[in-house]
Amino acid sequence: MSHARCYAFLTIATAIIALVTVTVAYQALPGRAFAADDFQWLLNVQDRPLSAVAVRAFDVRAESHFFRPLVWLLLWSEWRLFGFDASAFHSVSLALHVLNTALIGWLTSRTIWTQSFLAPIIGGTVAALVAALHPAPFEAVVWVSAQSELLAALFLLLTLHFWWSACFSRGLWRPIWHVAAAATLALALLTKESAVVGLPLIMLIEWEASRVAQRRIALMPLVLPVLVTAAYLAFALDVASRNTLVRESGYGFGAQVALNPLRSLGLIAAPLPGVEYGREAWLPLVGAGVALAGKIALVIVWRYGKGAASLLTGMLALIVTLAPTAPFDSAPDSRYLYLPVMVIALMAGRWSSIFTDWVMSVESHSHRRLATVVGGDNERSEPGTRACLRVRRLMVGVCALSVALVLGVLAVNEVRGREARFAAGARPGEELRLFAAAECATGRLDRILVVEPPIAAPHVEAIIRLSCSSNPQTLVIGSGDIERELRPHTLVVVFKGGFPHALIRTSL
């Protein structure tokens, strides 16, 4: 089979695997509501023309949190298309996740150099399955506000594909691929600040390509992504200097610089039920154990086997993608594990291809030994040895598929459980939105007092402003402040069992 047909087959196969597995794992997601920050993002783009949103998004001086202009444009487009239809927003998230899963599977198969046609197929399939079903980064898929993670990952994966193509292209195509990679890197940076890891990832894939092609690393093409990253940092650091979390010590350089990456690694290595938010004290210990095991494996492979350079590249890429979790003062959210899991998926895919090659080579060696022992009776023994070879390969394949099936079922169940728990936590916000819209439609309201809600105050205010066209003043108060805050045309809202209820409604 030609390389073009091989790549086409692998692309179609990984796309189908990604679509099926993501659909199965996140089956209930399209029926879920908005959550938390979603309402604030929607409020920012509601009733604004595209020109106003674009100017606001790219205005560095107006930003006091993060510089993510493409997220503004993405959510503005979705709001104009879908309005309050949360299922459509979730469908966009699922589509982005499917694309990323297919891209990591395809990238894995492209980076596998072997004489066997089977190894790239297995490697790409394993990578796609791990990326699609790993429970650790579930928030990136189920939370509309986390579409920045998905979109940035999409641009970064395209960047790596383009750079890999440039490494093995000649003539005019090579600079074209380099420029395309720099452009998608810029788009990733304009989507999420953690995309600064794109530059070291480009360097690592350049190193891997130069090792495969047995040439020196090309330094000149790296100038363009370096300039793109430097230009972005000039804007991002200005915004970071006004960031409220930075000013309030939400980020730091204490013990968490080591503990948070280890905690994140523990979340990836042990995606057990109920640990998705990383608060367990034992998670850094698990991460430290995984890191130690990786170092031991690297030493052993470097000394006795093949693939040491590939393992080292993967470990460095994992360290790079875990680095953005380091400065958080609290445990990193699950959505920040999206890129590290993509790296894990690529490593799993490449090592499964190495295992496939090893099985094939062992069986071929056994076949040659049998033929040598039989000697002159080679023709009669050939069908028997071939049948034995096929049986052994079938047994290995059945065992591997059984393990993959068990792990896949466990992963699907865990993803569904985490998604359901997240949806249950987000339900009070959706109930408040529906309740506020109904109450505002029944008559004039100047003030809405929400008593001790199970939702953060900024989210409450955003929900009511989105739901009530009259924009009544919204106050989040304690139960002892009700009488003091009562005014004409005031609604007092209390929550019972996660559902809002009208306690008092005053008129003139």
Is the pLDDT assigned to residue 482 strictly greater than 60?
yes
Q: What pLDDT is attached to residue 60?
A: 79
CA 136 to chain centre: 9
- Would you tell me the crossing angle of helices 457-467 and 37-45 to the nearest 10 degrees? 40
Beta strand pairing status for 499-505 and 490-496? antiparallel
- Give the residue from 327, 266, 254, 271 showing the smallest Cα distance to 292: 266
What are the residues facing 314 on neighbouring strands? none
Question: Angle, to 10 degrees, between the axis of helix 198-213 and the axis of helix 173-189?
Answer: 150
DSSP letter assigned to residue 332: P
The yes-or-no verdict on residue 379 having pLDDT over 50 is: no
Out of 140-149, 369-378, 406-415, 416-425, least confident range: 369-378
Average confidence score pLDDT of the chain: 85
pLDDT of residue 239: 76
Q: Which helix (H) or strand (E) element contains residue 501?
A: strand 499-505
d(CA 288, CA 136): 17
- Two structure tokens written together for 296: 């031991």
Helices (H) and strands (E) in the chain, counts: 19, 4
127: which DSSP letter?
H
- Tokens 């608060």 sit on residue: 279
CB-side neighbour CA atoms (13 Å) of 501: 7
Distance CA 242, CA 377 (A): 82
> Which pLDDT tens digit goes with each residue over 385-399?
666 666 666 676 677
pTM score, two decimals? 0.89
d(CA 358, CA 381): 24
Res. 294: pLDDT tops 70: yes
How does pLDDT run across 47-91, given as a tens digit for each residue? 888 888 888 888 877 776 778 899 999 999 999 999 889 999 999
Q: Do 163 and 208 meet the contact criterion of CB atoms below 8 Å apart?
A: no
Handedness of CA 337, 338, 343, 347 (dihedral sign): positive
With beta carbons less than 8 A apart as the criterion, state whether 105 and 352 touch.
Answer: no
User: What dihedral angle (degrees, nearest 10) is formed by the CA atoms of 136, 140, 141, 146?
Assistant: 170
- Length of the chain equals 508
| Number of alpha carbons in the 13 Å side-chain half-sphere of residue 444 | 7
Amino acid present at 459: H
Count of Cβ atoms closer than 10 Å to residue 106 Cβ: 24
pLDDT on residue 47: 82
pLDDT digits (tens, 9 = 90+) for 99-153: 999 999 999 988 887 766 777 888 888 999 999 999 999 999 999 999 999 999 9
Copy the structure tokens of residue 35: 């959550």
**Residue 370: which pLDDT band, with cuts at 50, 70 and 90?**
very low
113 burial via Cβ count (<10 Å: 0-12, 13-18, 19+) = exposed
Residue 164 parent element (H or E): helix 147-167
Handedness of CA 65, 67, 68, 70 (dihedral sign): positive
Is the per-residue pLDDT at 362 higher than 80? Answer: no
pLDDT number for residue 376: 47
Sheet strands (E) in 342-489:
447-451, 473-477
